[in-house]
Structure 1
Amino acid sequence: MSYFMTDLSGTSVEEPDEATMRTILDGLADADDEHPDVSLTHENGWSLSAFPSGELLWLLWENLDDPDAPPRQLSGVSKDEALRLFGLLAKGETEEIERRAAS
């Protein structure tokens, strides 16, 4: 399975490990209006974007390949939880993310 992560500057990192994912998420401390998020996209079309929101993050869960799948938001997510969800998506395990987004 293939996936990539995009950092604040728009640079893509192919199949980052957990430490690299954490570094990219830590970069959200420097987010601004022009560069507001980081994301991980899986080859299955699912994408998870993280945006800073005070001490927590909000995530955007969407399928970039399916225009009929509505994007959903997950609010109040800790950085550790975001890292865990990014790890699940990297493995193509979307069920838990889907359940979390639906609640």
Structure 2
Amino acid sequence: MSCFMYDVMGGTVDEPDPETMRRVLAGLADADDEHPDVSLTHESGWCLGAFRGGLLVRENPDDDSVAPGRMREAAREEVLRLFGLLAAGDITSVEALPWQR
């Protein structure tokens, strides 16, 4: 499966491994109003965006029939776990969580 990440400054990382995901997520310490998040996008179009305050957003910008979901105060380890599931293409496990609409 193919995926890529955007770091907090908008740089792209193709096929990130778990350590790279951890490093990109740690970059949220440098987030500001112009660059507030990091994200991981799977080739299916599904995306997870993580923000410094713990907000995690799940969406598929290619599919208007699916409303974005939000998870507040997501712990860093949980975000890394979900990034790993999405990178592996396990969309079902990511979708099964209690996302707020």
Tell me the TM-score normalized by structure 1.
Answer: 0.93
Moved over 3 A (4+): none
Q: Distance in 1 between matches of 2:4 and 2:63?
A: 18
Alignment of 1:9-88 (within 5 A): 9-53=9-53, 57-88=54-85
The alignment covers a number of residue pairs equal to: 100
Comparing 40-49 with 60-69, greater Cα deviation is found at: 60-69
Shift of residue 33, structure 1, vs aligned partner: 0.2
Tell me the TM-score normalized by structure 2.
Answer: 0.94
Higher strand share goes to which structure?
Answer: 1
User: Where do 5+ consecutive residues of structure 2 fail to align?
Assistant: none
Shift of residue 102, structure 1, vs aligned partner: 3.5
Q: Distance in 2 between matches of 1:90 and 1:68?
A: 22
Q: Distance in 1 between matches of 2:99 and 2:10?
A: 28
Of all paired residues, the percent bearing the same amino acid is 53
Alpha-carbon RMSD across the aligned residues, in angstroms, is: 1.1
Q: Distance in 2 between matches of 1:26 and 1:58?
A: 14
Shift of residue 64, structure 1, vs aligned partner: 1.6
User: Where do 5+ consecutive residues of structure 1 fail to align?
Assistant: none
